[in-house]
Each structure stands twice: as structure tokens, then as C-alpha cells.
Amino acid sequence: MKNALPETGGFFARNREMHPPAYTPGYKTSVLRAPQRALISLEGTKSEITGPVFGHNIIGEFDNDLIVNYAKPGEMAIGQRIMVHGRVLDERGVGVAGALVEFWQANAGGRYRHKKETYLAAIDPNFGGFGRCITDENGNYAFRTIKPGAYPWPNGVNDWRPAHIHFSIFGHGFAQRLITQMYFEGDPMIAICPIVKTIPDEEAIKRLIAPLDMSNTVPMDMRAYKFDIVLRGRRSTFFENRKEGN
């Protein structure tokens, strides 16, 4: 990145047919929270093509290790040890360097450490359930955690979330801001989840399912799951500084 010119192009138009619409009655909470009027189209201006960039100095030594970052000294979180790794890319296939990635999840029993969480599964005293990292110059990231459990939630009378990890990603522009969730290969709960089903495109759902990655699995230690995240692409700026007619 050091020798690269600053990126000043606008972003590819967002393909909203791959994203969940605002109003998805199968996910009841969306009903009163969905804007009902059409979005107003706005070509990206300086206000959207710029965005905050976070330095590596905000990242603590154990921020990407959920097995120990909340645990008492010498102790560890309970659960199946896994590494989640992959790349943050944009739609051009270019790795997004220096992207802040934040993640949070339930513990191995499906319980979150949150004031408002009431599920009867046990709290793990050694598991906080969150971490963060910044991608390297090629867009790579990795963290260590335990595999989260499925959990029930109040929507339908018997709705359960598949095992998942929440992700918040900053790209290089505020218009790339994205929150999504990662699911695990082979989980039968994915197909019946009302939140997964808010996504209208079958292929887009598949792109949120991380495959088991035996090649990066550490023998006798932890399995690996590979999860790539794609942010909006950015136009080249070859012709964008010409202002004929203005």
C-alpha cells in the first residue's frame, strides 16, 4: 500500500438484490424498523468515499484471541477450539489492507455475555465473546476462538439461530461500512433461520457460510474455518477528474 496512490474513485453501485430488504416479516423485529419509502440515490461524494482508518496501535496483544482475552490468567474459554481466517477483499478482488474487523459471538453453549441476554445456557466465566483485528497489506485477517453454540430467540415460538459469528467491517470509505454474520459449513440450522432467510439470493447466503479448512487446521490443536468478506468495489479514476461542461 505504501507506494499506492490514494484511492479516490467512487464505489460500485450496491446490488441490493443480494442484500436483505428492510421489510422481512419472517423476522418480526424488522416490521416496525423497516423504512417504507424508497432510498434516495446519491452518487458517492467526498463524504462517502472517505472513511476513518484505524492504526494498529488500537489493537491489544490478545484482541484476536477470544480463547484467552477475557480468561483469568492461566485459564481458557470452554469449547471447540477454532481459528477463523480469511481475507477482506473488494469486488475487484483487491485485498483491503488496514481494514478494522470486529467480531462477537455467543459462547459454546449459545449464551452471550450481555445484560439483556436471558437464555438459560451457562455463562462461561472465561469467555467475553468479542475481539478485533486489522487486516495486513494483502487484506488477510485471523483470530482464534471457540465454536459458538446455536441458541433460541424470541421470534417464532421455536426459532433458533445457527452457530454464527457477527462481523463488523470498515473498508476505506464510509460507504463500504458493513455488518454481517458468518455461518459454519454443514449446519442444518442455516436453512431454517429467519434471519438467514432475509437474504433473498441463495448464492449470497452460500457466500456467508465458511468452509472447514483442513489445510490450515493445526494438528492436535484447532480446526480452521475460512471466511472471506467482500466489500464494495471502487472505480478506477482514469476519467473521474475531468470536468467537461462544468
Residues 134 to 163: which contact another protein by CB under 8 A? Answer: none
- CB nearer to another protein: give 104 or 225: 104
Phi, psi of 98 (to 5 degrees): 65, 25
Cross-strand bridge partners of residue 223: 82
Q: Catalytic pick from 27, 85, 87, 112?
A: 112
Cβ-based nearer residue to another protein, 25 or 218: 25
151 is catalytic: yes
Cα separation, 140 vs 142, in Å, equals 7
Cα 200 from chain centroid (whole Å):
18
> Could you tell me whether strands 223-226 and 81-90 are parallel, antiparallel, or unpaired per DSSP bridges?
parallel
Catalytic status, residue 141: no
Show contacts with another protein in window 79-138 (CB under 8 A): 89-93, 102-104, 112-117, 128-130, 132
Distance between CA 221 and CA 218 in Å, rounded? 5
At closest approach, how far in Å is the CB of 220 from another protein? 28
43: Cα within 13 Å, side-chain hemisphere:
4
Catalytic residue among 85, 111, 144, 161: 161
Interface pick for another protein out of 2, 3, 33, 186 (rule CB under 8 A): 33
Distant-in-sequence, close-in-space partners of 165: CB < 8 Å, separation ≥ 6: 84, 103, 104, 105, 145, 148, 181, 182
Does 231 bind another protein (CB under 8 A)? Our answer is yes
List binders of another protein among 34-73 (CB under 8 A).
34-37, 39-54, 58, 60, 63, 69-70
- Beta carbons of 89 and 228 less than 8 angstroms apart: yes
Out of 134, 146, 150, 175, the only residue in the binding site for another protein (CB under 8 A) is 175
200-219 residues in contact with another protein (CB under 8 A) are 201, 203-205, 207-208
Catalytic residue among 19, 81, 113, 166: 166
Q: How many CB atoms lie within 10 A of CB 47?
A: 11
Catalytic positions, written as ranges: 112, 151, 161, 164, 166
